Amino acid sequence: MSLHDIIFWILSLWAIVCAIFVVISRNPVNSVLFLIATFFAISGHYILMNAQFLAIVNIIVYAGAIMVLFLFVIMLMNLNTDTEPQKSRLVHFAALISAGSLLLVVLSAFRKAELTQIPVTDAGDIGLIKVLGKTLFDHYVLPFELSSVLFLAAMVGAMVIGRKEVVEEKSTK
């Protein structure tokens, strides 16, 4: 077992345990903190795969900006165990059965899965910003531009939902 493998297993264990705690912790603030820990583990995986830029972006954007926003929202909404909606036992049971059967399907399928190795071309510098930028603006230019359309649509939507409809009231009165 090489050092690479050992780090891989530690990071994987870290990510899975933290992800489980995100789901089962009662306090939403704890959930968010565990989610940040999960993101750090994922960033570690990115570095192992030679994707340094992705790793840094993941920490700055997700663990940094978005999660802080999450924390603020949770604190403003003052969520805790008291305000958690009570679900009936039947719903719990149905969720357990359906999620359990999905787990069973996925586990039994992956037990037999033969993983095909995807050959990695120019392995050394694949994660560098220069190479990433070239690929992004060469082969993946269409998805890149389309995601800007997607964000524009989401931005318009946020404005439509968020803005007060005062103009309407004035005109009707």
Partner 1 sequence: MKPLIATAVFAILMMFAALTVKEKKSFTHFAAILMLGLVGLNVWELADYNRLLASAQASPDLFGKMLRVDNYALWFNVLMSSCSFFYILLVGRSIEKVGVHVGEYYALHFFILCGVFLLSTYNNLLILFLGIEILSIPQYILSGSDKRNLKSSEASLKYFLMGAFSTGILLMGIVLLYGAMGTFDIHGFNFYATGTLNIMGVVGVLFMLVALGFKVSAAPMHFWTPDVYDGSPTPFTAFMATIVKVSVFFAFMRLFMEGFANLDPYWKVTVLGTITVLTLLIGNITAVYQQSVKRMLAYSSIAQAGFMMFVVIGSNAMAMKGMIIYAVAYTLATVGIFGVLLKLKDYTYDGFNGLAKKHPFLALIASICLMSLAGIPLTAGFFAKWFVIAAALEQPGTFWLVIFALVMAAVSLYYYFKVIMAMYFKTGEPELITPVTTMDKVVMAIIGSAVIVFGIAPDMLLAWI
Nearest CB to partner 1, comparing residues 3 and 90: 90
Judged by CB under 8 A, the number of residues near partner 1 is 31
CB of 158 to partner 1, least distance (A): 8
> Please, which of residues 101-120 interact with partner 1 by CB under 8 A?
105-106, 109-110, 112-116, 118
Which x/- pattern over 153-172 shows residues binding partner 1 (rule: CB under 8 A)?
xx-xx-xxx-x-x-xx----
Which residue from 17, 63, 20, 22 is spatially nearest to 40, judged by alpha carbons?
63
Question: Which range binds partner 1 by CB under 8 A, 9-17, 61-69, 84-92, 135-143?
Answer: 135-143
CB of 3 to partner 1, least distance (A): 25
Q: How far apart are CA 33 and CA 93, in angstroms?
A: 28
> Please, which of residues 69-108 interact with partner 1 by CB under 8 A?
105-106
* Residues in contact with partner 1 by the rule CB under 8 A: 105-106, 109-110, 112-116, 118, 139-143, 146-147, 149-150, 152-154, 156-157, 159-161, 163, 165, 167-168
